[in-house]
């Protein structure tokens, strides 16, 4: 059983959502990224999503864009992100996935990237601007490297689009909670529950909800529907309040959420 599957099985056995923390590689500094992964895992994150910064992040809102720009100014490249992932793997066994756009993968070389990610201890990939119909090459090389793939569906996805994402995903299916880009929000879009139900009818994989998840009420609303939730912009916002004490900020934000998930 893969690390990702084992994490979801453990959460299912404990009767709670899997808590997935998103961190931008290189934010607030590249040298602190591995420690942030370790602290996130120690503070209750069941999986960690590592965003590789990109200059044109179409799916990301203001918070992740700002973190990505800061990381790029700090000299983060795909190679350095791979090295940070390997360093993080030396500190924790938590499942880790890279979230990156297609262009950085193509520039590095799809096969080479998949192999390097696996060697770095990465368990899966999320590529938000790559639809399943255009993912043949990445799917082949990911399979060869034993990397799992995650595809996204949204409330605006067509039935065919949902079916394609369910068929192509191997780790979990990522349901976008809102229409638009990432960013913390006060309320979840009520359309996310019917979306989860639609995915559930077509896939036995875990279902994870992201985009806008930021508070206890969001997690409560997903109980009994989804299998996991991704905390992204809200966590980066917390880090931005005190970048010099980023590990403490991560722990302070995640610990209460994890405790609230226990039954």
Contacts of 16 (CB under 8 A, 6+ apart): 261, 262, 263
Helix (H, G, I), strand (E, B) or coil at 48: strand
Which among 96, 89, 101, 76 is positioned nearest to 25, based on CA atoms? Answer: 76
Which among 90, 167, 100 is positioned nearest to 129, based on CA atoms? Answer: 100
Place of tokens 């990237």: 113
Catalytically active residues, by annotation: 49, 60
E strand map for the chain: 18-24, 47-51, 96-99, 124-126, 148-153, 173-176, 207-210, 228-231
């Amino acid at each position: 059983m893969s690390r990702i599957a084992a994490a979801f099985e453990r959460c299912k056995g404990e009767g709670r959502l899997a808590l997935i923390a998103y961190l931008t590689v290189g934010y607030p500094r590249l040298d602190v990224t591995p420690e942030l992964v370790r602290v996130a895992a120690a503070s209750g994150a069941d999986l960690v999503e590592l965003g590789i910064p990109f200059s044109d992040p179409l799916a990301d809102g203001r918070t992740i864009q700002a973190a990505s720009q800061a990381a790029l100014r700090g000299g983060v490249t795909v190679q350095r992100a791979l090295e940070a992932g390997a360093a993080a793997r030396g500190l924790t066994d938590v499942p880790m996935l890279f979230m990156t756009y297609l262009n950085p993968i193509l520039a590095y070389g799809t096969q080479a990237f998949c192999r390097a990610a696996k060697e770095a201890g990465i368990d899966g990939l999320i590529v938000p601007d790559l639809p399943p119909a255009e993912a043949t090459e990445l799917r082949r090389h990911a399979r060869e490297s034993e990397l799992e793939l995650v595809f996204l569906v949204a409330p605006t996805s067509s039935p065919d689009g949902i079916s394609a994402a369910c068929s192509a995903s191997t780790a979990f299916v990522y349901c976008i909670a809102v229409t638009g880009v990432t960013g913390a929000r006060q309320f979840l879009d009520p359309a996310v529950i019917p979306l989860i139900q639609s995915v559930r009818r077509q896939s036995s994989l875990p279902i994870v909800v992201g985009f806008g998840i930021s508070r206890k009420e969001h997690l409560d609303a997903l109980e009994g529907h989804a299998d996991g939730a991704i905390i992204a912009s809200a966590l980066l916002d917390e880090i931005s309040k005190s970048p010099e004490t980023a590990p403490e900020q991560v722990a302070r934000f995640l610990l209460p959420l994890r405790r609230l998930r226990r039954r």
